[in-house]
């Protein structure tokens, strides 16, 4: 149980930030790698809800469950450097976690509060709206602004800086189908006060690969499905390996609808297919409201 709770401190508290918000991975929505014209601004509001019925260690099911709810605010501005479009942006999450079952019985409190702020930008090397083809690189800095207390087994913030490097490609295969391919790597900083004993937490690089397929019902409405895999990221606490490398696969289905030319709604549902270590999400709902101005 001790190692499960410790891993929850790292992963479960951050799992609710996955609309681009997790410091351990950077989930995207299909279409996120579309370059928009210089001077365009985006305001986005996310709501995410996830239910975790079991924790896993080395592929074995353990006790404990939790619920996460998160709201994220995101602002994006498109501009140019020379001939290249870039989009400086900021993401600020608020997260609430409700521990249940064995976690609550073990005294793992349910935290809530601000998460770690993400600052970043994408640089597009391929930008062809006529063909519907885009390719870009993204850098995000995860900053330790989230609520954190080293005496707690479960925290919202990670109390460290992390660097997320991501590449994304979009290709309009036909009038009806578009594919989105995304991969990222997260370089984790050290948490030098990871527990009450003052041990340092170190974490290896973690990776994620995502693929979306969209079916365009109309120009304003599409149906979408995704597969994602996250791996790596084993931790060391006080120099001791925790044998908690992630190996997580999940699927998502949903729809996106431009209710008017400058307002888009996205609704996605999904769940984890398999998890080796950490919380397994039995259900997840992601909602997103986007305003272009």
| Confidence (pLDDT) at 24 | 55
- Stretch among 8-12, 29-33, 151-155 having the lowest mean pLDDT: 8-12
| Confidence (pLDDT) at 5 | 38
Question: Can you read off the two tokens belonging to residue 119?
Answer: 């600052």
| Confidence (pLDDT) at 287 | 98
Q: Indicate the pLDDT class of residue 40, thresholds 50, 70 and 90.
A: very high
| Confidence (pLDDT) at 4 | 36
Q: Indicate the pLDDT class of residue 110, thresholds 50, 70 and 90.
A: confident
Average pLDDT value for residue range 281-290:
97
Tell me which of 278 and 290 has the higher pLDDT: 290
Average pLDDT value for residue range 86-95:
97
- Residue pLDDT, tens place only, 156-202: 999 999 999 999 999 999 999 999 999 999 999 999 988 888 899 99
| Confidence (pLDDT) at 12 | 35
Q: How many domains does the chain have?
A: 1
For 174, the domain range is 2-292
| Confidence (pLDDT) at 179 | 98
| Confidence (pLDDT) at 86 | 98
| Confidence (pLDDT) at 65 | 86
Tell me which of 83 and 24 has the higher pLDDT: 83
- Given a cut of 70, is residue 66 above it in pLDDT? yes
Share of the chain above pLDDT 90, in %: 74
- Given a cut of 60, is residue 154 above it in pLDDT? yes
| Confidence (pLDDT) at 70 | 96
Distances (CA, A) of 246 to 10, 129, 193, 210: 11, 37, 22, 15
State if pTM tops 0.95.
no
- Stretch among 3-12, 137-146, 180-189 having the lowest mean pLDDT: 3-12
Cα 166 to Cα 137: distance, rounded to the nearest angstrom: 6
Average pLDDT value for residue range 139-157:
91
**CATH number of the domain where residue 93 is located:** 2.40.128.130
DSSP string computed for 74-128:
EEEE-EEETTEEE--EEEEEEEEEEEEHHHHHTT----EEE---EEEEEEEEEEE
């Amino acid at each position: 149980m001790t190692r499960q709770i410790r891993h929850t401190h790292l992963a479960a508290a951050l799992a609710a930030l996955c609309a681009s918000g997790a410091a351990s991975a950077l989930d995207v929505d299909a279409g996120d790698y579309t370059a928009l014209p210089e001077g365009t601004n985006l305001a986005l509001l996310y709501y995410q809800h996830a239910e975790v019925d079991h924790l896993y260690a080395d592929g074995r099911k353990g006790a404990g469950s939790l619920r996460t709810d998160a709201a994220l605010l995101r602002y994006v501005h498109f501009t140019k450097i020379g001939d290249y479009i870039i989009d400086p942006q900021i993401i600020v999450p608020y997260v609430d976690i409700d521990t249940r079952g064995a976690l609550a019985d073990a005294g793992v409190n349910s935290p809530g509060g601000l998460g770690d702020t993400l600052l970043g930008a994408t640089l597009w090397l391929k930008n062809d709206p006529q063909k519907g083809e885009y390719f870009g690189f993204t850098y995000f800095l995860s900053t330790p602004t989230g609520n954190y207390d080293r005496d707690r087994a479960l925290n919202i913030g990670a109390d460290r800086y992390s660097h997320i490097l991501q590449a994304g490609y979009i290709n309009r295969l036909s009038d009806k189908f578009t594919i989105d391919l995304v991969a990222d790597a997260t370089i984790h900083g050290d948490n030098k006060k990871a527990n009450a004993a003052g041990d340092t937490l170190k974490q290896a690089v973690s990776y994620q690969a995502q693929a979306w397929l969209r079916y365009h019902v109309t120009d304003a409405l599409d149906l979408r499905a995704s597969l994602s895999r996250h791996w790596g990221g084993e931790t060391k606490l006080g120099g001791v390996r925790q044998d908690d490398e992630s190996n997580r696969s999940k699927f998502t289905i949903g729809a996106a609808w431009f209710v008017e030319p400058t307002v888009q709604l996205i609704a996605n549902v999904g769940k984890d297919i398999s998890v080796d270590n950490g919380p397994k999400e039995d259900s997840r709902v992601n909602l997103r409201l986007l305003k272009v101005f």
